[in-house]
């Protein structure tokens, strides 16, 4: 472990994300600082530093198990995207970035005139789901906006689908990791990740 306290927090936060099913980087960093007994006045690492520490841990300890889990989650994402093809689905988040843990959900963005269209599609597919609201930033310096979202299980993999208006395909919300527009991937890019 590093002697740099900020780096130590990043490394411990990555362990918390992996071991304790914490998905929120901010919460993981605060828990890490507390667990390490470091002062509250100490600056926390950037989310990108935590993500780098997470990748390092997964590379070091995850090995083929992590690769197989990621591959399986990406295949499940493809199946869900094909079922929701009418809504131009895009994969986002840890499954796309390669940092998914066993506690991660597959996150999809879909685009529709109304959220009810997506609900009806799931009803027709006989897929039971729960509804919730997802809070995302769409512009730097702006507050959060709420978007309708749905959660269901495919096999043993949780899928979370956030519904955007049709024009939302042109502007991705901001990533909670680096504050830049989220990377979104269509089917072709996911296939290329599986091929690689």
- 104: DSSP letter: P
* Residue 160: CATH number of its domain: 3.30.460.10
Specify if 151 maps to a domain. yes
pTM of the model: 0.83
Contact indicator for 83, 44 with CB cutoff of 8 Å: no
Contact indicator for 96, 185 with CB cutoff of 8 Å: yes
Tens of pLDDT along 37-93? 999 888 899 999 998 898 888 877 777 888 899 999 999 999 999 999 999 999 999
The 3-state DSSP class for residue 164 equals strand
Whole domain around residue 79: which residue ranges? Answer: 64-195
- Mean pLDDT, residues 159-187 taken together: 93
- The answer, yes or no, to whether residue 196 has pLDDT greater than 60, is no
Same structural domain, 92 and 161: yes
pLDDT of residue 57: 85
Same structural domain, 70 and 17: no
What are the structure tokens assigned to 150, written together? 């749905």
Same structural domain, 30 and 96: no
**CA gyration radius for the chain?**
18
Tens of pLDDT along 81-114? 999 999 999 999 999 999 988 889 999 999 999 9
- The answer, yes or no, to whether residue 195 has pLDDT greater than 70, is no
Q: What is the mean pLDDT of the chain?
A: 91
Residue ranges in the chain assigned as alpha helix (H): 5-20, 25-35, 47-57, 63-83, 94-97, 115-124, 187-195
Specify if 56 maps to a domain. no
Same structural domain, 121 and 182: yes
């Amino acid at each position: 472990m590093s002697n740099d306290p900020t780096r130590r927090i990043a490394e411990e936060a990555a362990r918390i994300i992996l071991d304790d099913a914490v998905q929120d980087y901010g919460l993981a960093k605060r828990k890490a600082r507390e667990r390490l007994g470091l002062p509250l006045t100490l600056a926390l690492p950037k989310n990108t530093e935590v993500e780098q520490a997470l990748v390092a841990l997964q590379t070091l300890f995850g090995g083929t198990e992590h690769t197989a889990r990621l591959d399986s989650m990406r295949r499940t994402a493809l199946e869900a995207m094909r079922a929701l093809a009418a809504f131009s689905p895009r994969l986002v988040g840890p499954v796309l970035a390669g940092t998914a843990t066993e506690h991660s959900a597959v996150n999809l963005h879909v685009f529709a005139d109304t959220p009810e269209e997506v609900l009806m599609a799931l009803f027709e597919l006989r897929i039971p789901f729960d509804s919730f609201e997802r809070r995302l930033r769409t512009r730097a310096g702006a507050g959060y906006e709420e978007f309708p979202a749905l959660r269901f299980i495919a096999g043993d993999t949780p899928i979370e689908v956030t519904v955007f208006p049709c024009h939302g395909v042109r502007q991705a919300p901001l990533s909670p990791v680096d504050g830049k527009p989220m990377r979104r991937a269509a089917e072709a890019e996911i296939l290329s990740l599986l091929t690689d």
